[in-house]
Structure 1
Amino acid sequence: MSVIDRRRFLKTSAVGALASAAASKAVFADSPDTAAPASAPAPASSTNARPPKVTRILAEFIVKTGYQDLPAPARKEGVRTLMNWVGVAVGGSHDETVNRAVAALTPFSGPPQANLLGRSERFDIMNAAFINGVSSHIFDYDDTHLKTIIHPAGPVASAILAYSQYHPVSGKDFLNALVLGVETELRIGNAVYPNHYDVGWHITGTCGVFGSAAATGKLMGLSVQQMVWALGLAASQPVGLRESFGSMNKSFNPGRAAANGIFAALLAARDYTSSDGMIEAKRGWANTISTKQDYREITEALGTRYESTLNTYKPFACGIVIHPAIDAAIQLRNQYHLTADQIDHIDLRVHPLVIELTGKKTPQIGLEGKFSIYHAVAIAVIDGAGGEKQFSDAKVRDPVTVALREKVNAIIDPAIKPEQVDMTITLKDGRKLHKFIQHAIGSTEVPMTDQQLEKKFADLADGILSPTQTRALIEKCWHVEQLDSASEIALAALPQ
């Protein structure tokens, strides 16, 4: 059973949910005093076992893991994660959402310690991290860990790039912190997904704060005990609800997670204490916000299996569940040279989650269009693309788009997996064109190439940075490990 199929089962099984909650209350104690090693944690379903000291195990891993310990695939995907994140942050830097955040916070910002990507303003590191986090998520074009739907880079990269301008760090140390921060948030997310997400939490914010605290604390050189406290202080700051989707508030969540993580690490560096078991204790983070706690997801194969290598990058600037439909529409358009006036109607069979998350039939603004399967399919046929320009207010309201959107029929079919779509376009001349997508471009099975990431980056930076600047910034991202100071990336993203 796939992760999301399992989530669907749990949502429809009240008995299962109640049993899970009851088991959690019976199993976990406030202050566990027995530790299980990272390689052999206590089974999650054991009736009398206490959980391993997850917070400390994780802290020890973060503190003791150096750049030289990272396997080559983790380093490579860390570089690609950075590359994608810088591109989307620059691309979103002049969105109205970011303009409003800059205007609201400018009078209250502290010393000008770090700059904003794609802009000339400088803020204190926590506000810079917040705004860059907002900027990188506003287009819904950032990286995605498909197992949890976490967008990992925003909370972590936003935090440590800001910190690296305040306290210089090498490119190798920066990349190491980025990989460890992403690994931290993804493993914690695995432990509570899907129940945590189902109840309404925006998992990028709630888990991202751990990644931000871990990565920033790593660059600060925290001790194991201080890292335990940093993770504990992060646990006290969960942020983000799914009700915010479709509004500016959604991008607030990774931005706030980035700033909150820095806040936690700064306090911990001064020995500001927390509980030593804030993740796993009976009244700690995992038991408070989820009816599922599988601590094996956090501790098993820690340091040998890297969740961060499963990170993916969006070719389309919208919710990930729409991507198969956009992919199918573009392929049919290109294969048959379709135009909107040829089409009688479009039928697509989709997983129930697609309608749950992206069922807006009449979006009025670009942000709503990102959560409309109907708009996404229509604009993919019209433009042959699904980038940020296809989700503008103007495109959503365009009469040609609206007319085709009304011809799109999305039919729920539980037999279709979330990563699939079955599309049939019926033309006015009676022809039927069919496309089934097993795995869309951008998935782990069909990943974006480095060249595709570069093109995406260049498209996003167009009009903000000159082509020469864009090329130089791309090169710095690809060669981050050779940089004497990671702050060179932020400085290269200043418009001239």
Structure 2
Amino acid sequence: MSLSHELATRALALDPSGFDPSALGFARDAIADMIGCALLGAPTTTTEAALLKGIQGEGPCHVLGRREKLGRLDAAFVNGVSGHALDYDDTSKSLSGHPTVIIIPAILPIAETLQTSGRAFLDAYVIGVEAATRFARGVNFAHYEKGWHPTATLGIFGAVVSAGILLKLDVKSMANAISMAASLASGIKANFGTDTKPLHAGLAARNGLFAALMAAEGVNAASTALEHPQGFLEVFNGKGHYDADRMLTDWGTPLDLMNPGISIKKYPCVYSVHAAIDAVIELHDGSVPDSTAVEDVVVRMHPRRLLPHVRNPATSALNAKFSLSYVVARGLVNGTVRLDHFEDSALGDPEVMRIMDLIRMEEMPDDFPDYGAEVVVRTKDGQEVRNRIETPLGRGPESPLPTEMLERKFLDCASRSLTADGAADVFGMLMQLDRLARVSDLVAAISTSTRPTKG
């Protein structure tokens, strides 16, 4: 039996009636967060360009936070782009990327046009996360470190499986869809910090949906597209750098959504630096309230988190989101890291630039918490203080973002596209997603509340 067939069998064998209510609640929160991020990204120039240059015409599906309606594939593409445009969407440790921004844009057009219930939508999402992350366990971290962008290259398998669930594909068709997706996967980390990164998300969502739709029409693909000598595993990872058996074990026991879980971002920047931000904000609020007294800063993190794009200085609003020195300086200077800190006008702050020049980065041993950080600050009077954060807030179900904080983030993001009353109503519907009769009602509520696009 081929690997695609084995994966399809496991995906279709998952029984949603046995999903723990806490998993459904966490899935609901992740979906709400992703939709908020798409509403934030809807007015950006990247989303605007995707609408103008990447679409085929009008259709029945809504673009979140905008007045346009597109065909299913185009809507998946644009909603994926807007959801990832400002890099505020959730992440998965297993995936080493952003699962929800691939899966939800892929299945929203199906749910909208087929009158899918909120519970069925949630179930398809949970199964898609499991598929993407189980696939990822067989190829990471070598896949990530090689330079692929797993959000796109692995997230597409979550998108195709979720879409296949809603389209009611059988095992044979689901296997064909997975094999087809292997030929449609792409995305390289060299484009981090540019407008191209969110295009990865849009294309992966669109291509995952496309593969599922093609398979539903009987289009086939090589059964061994994954394990073939010139298939996905050998081409993307190379011999000795993957373990297909790891993809097939322990599906749903527990769901990857819950362990190790999905992280919902507290700050609008790459998740690798969140523990360092938490650490310096605590220092700012305690022993180092005045950044002008700071003389030296050392940030220590797991080597997996100190990759080149994280070590780089901030030279634009986009790559500032990946700059450890910038966000740590912001935390020390301002005691917070906000959306407006990632606008071009914010980058020239002289005190932030001064602190950035002081920051040194050091690697911690491999047994240091993967997403943890230790910060040591020395002041001009010779005082040395340190703070260590092992688990940043939002790090999966073990340290979830409180509901009130999730709501504040959603309303802040949604305010870029929706009326205040509309944003509050939409959040309320999202918190009851499992009880919603039709996902199309949610999309309609978003559309009704959307303000006209400026310009």
Q: Same fold (TM over 0.5)?
A: yes
Task: Give ranges in structure 1 of 5+ residues lacking alignment.
Answer: 1-34, 36-52
1:484 is aligned, of 437, 452, 455, to 437
Contact kept, 8 Å, 1:133 with 1:258, in 2: the verdict is yes
What secondary structure does 2:198 align onto?
helix
| CA displacement 1:167-211 (0-9 Å, x = unmatched) | 221111111111111111111111111111221111110111111
2:417 is equivalent to residue 460 of structure 1: no
Partner of 1:420: 372
Distance in 2 (alpha carbons) for counterparts of 1:320 and 1:280: 32
Distance in 1 (alpha carbons) for counterparts of 2:416 and 2:92: 29
Distance in 2 (alpha carbons) for counterparts of 1:111 and 1:433: 58
Contact kept, 8 Å, 2:192 with 2:309, in 1: the verdict is no
Cα distance, 1:378–1:215 mapped onto 2, change above 3 Å: same
Once the two structures are TM-superposed, the CA of residue 470 in structure 1 deviates from its matched residue by 1.3
Contact kept, 8 Å, 2:321 with 2:327, in 1: the verdict is yes
Once the two structures are TM-superposed, the CA of residue 356 in structure 1 deviates from its matched residue by 2.1
2:262 is aligned, of 307, 311, 332, to 311
Partner of 1:441: 393
Distance in 1 (alpha carbons) for counterparts of 2:207 and 2:99: 15
**Structure 2 counterpart of 1:61, which letter?**
R
Distance in 1 (alpha carbons) for counterparts of 2:70 and 2:45: 18
Matches within 5 A, 1:25-424: 35=1, 53-105=2-54, 108-291=55-238, 292-309=241-258, 310-336=261-287, 338-414=289-365, 416-424=368-376
Which has the larger displacement, 258-267 or 217-226?
A: 217-226
Task: Give ranges in structure 2 of 5+ residues lacking alignment.
Answer: none
Which has the larger displacement, 480-489 or 244-253?
A: 480-489
**Structure 1 counterpart of 2:294, which letter?**
I
Once the two structures are TM-superposed, the CA of residue 337 in structure 1 deviates from its matched residue by 6.3
Distance in 2 (alpha carbons) for counterparts of 1:174 and 1:303: 18
| CA displacement 1:255-307 (0-9 Å, x = unmatched) | 10100011101111110011223223333222321133322322212243211
Contact kept, 8 Å, 1:322 with 1:358, in 2: the verdict is no
Distance in 1 (alpha carbons) for counterparts of 2:89 and 2:310: 21
What secondary structure does 1:112 align onto?
strand
**Structure 2 counterpart of 1:440, which letter?**
P
Cα distance, 1:463–1:252 mapped onto 2, change above 3 Å: closer
Structure 1 vs Structure 2 CA RMSD: 2.0
Partner of 2:382: 430
Cα distance, 1:364–1:181 mapped onto 2, change above 3 Å: same
Once the two structures are TM-superposed, the CA of residue 361 in structure 1 deviates from its matched residue by 4.7
| CA displacement 1:192-236 (0-9 Å, x = unmatched) | 111112211111101111111111111111122111111111111
**Structure 2 counterpart of 1:139, which letter?**
L
| CA displacement 1:69-118 (0-9 Å, x = unmatched) | 3233332221122111111111111122112212223xx42332211111
What secondary structure does 1:103 align onto?
helix
What secondary structure does 2:298 align onto?
strand
Q: Which has the larger radius of gyration?
A: 1
Contact kept, 8 Å, 2:130 with 2:252, in 1: the verdict is no
| CA displacement 1:28-62 (0-9 Å, x = unmatched) | xxxxxxx4xxxxxxxxxxxxxxxxx3321221233
Contact kept, 8 Å, 1:189 with 1:207, in 2: the verdict is yes
**Structure 2 counterpart of 1:196, which letter?**
H
TM-score of the pair, normalised by structure 2 = 0.92
| CA displacement 1:342-398 (0-9 Å, x = unmatched) | 322322223334442444554221111112111011111223222322222222222
What secondary structure does 1:140 align onto?
coil
| CA displacement 1:235-266 (0-9 Å, x = unmatched) | 11111001111111111111101000111011
What secondary structure does 2:322 align onto?
coil
**Structure 1 counterpart of 2:436, which letter?**
L
Matches within 5 A, 1:15-34: none
**Structure 1 counterpart of 2:431, which letter?**
W
Distance in 2 (alpha carbons) for counterparts of 1:468 and 1:65: 38
Once the two structures are TM-superposed, the CA of residue 128 in structure 1 deviates from its matched residue by 1.1
**Structure 1 counterpart of 2:28, which letter?**
V
Cα distance, 1:170–1:204 mapped onto 2, change above 3 Å: same
TM-score of the pair, normalised by structure 1 = 0.84
**Structure 1 counterpart of 2:44, which letter?**
D
Contact kept, 8 Å, 2:312 with 2:323, in 1: the verdict is yes
Contact kept, 8 Å, 2:39 with 2:416, in 1: the verdict is no
Contact kept, 8 Å, 1:150 with 1:186, in 2: the verdict is no
Distance in 2 (alpha carbons) for counterparts of 1:403 and 1:98: 34
Distance in 1 (alpha carbons) for counterparts of 2:348 and 2:243: 45
Partner of 1:30: none
What secondary structure does 1:217 align onto?
helix
2:398 is equivalent to residue 451 of structure 1: no
Distance in 2 (alpha carbons) for counterparts of 1:339 and 1:101: 43
| CA displacement 1:117-141 (0-9 Å, x = unmatched) | 1111121111111111111112221
Contact kept, 8 Å, 1:364 with 1:397, in 2: the verdict is no
Cα distance, 1:350–1:457 mapped onto 2, change above 3 Å: same
What secondary structure does 2:318 align onto?
helix
What secondary structure does 2:80 align onto?
helix
**Structure 2 counterpart of 1:91, which letter?**
L
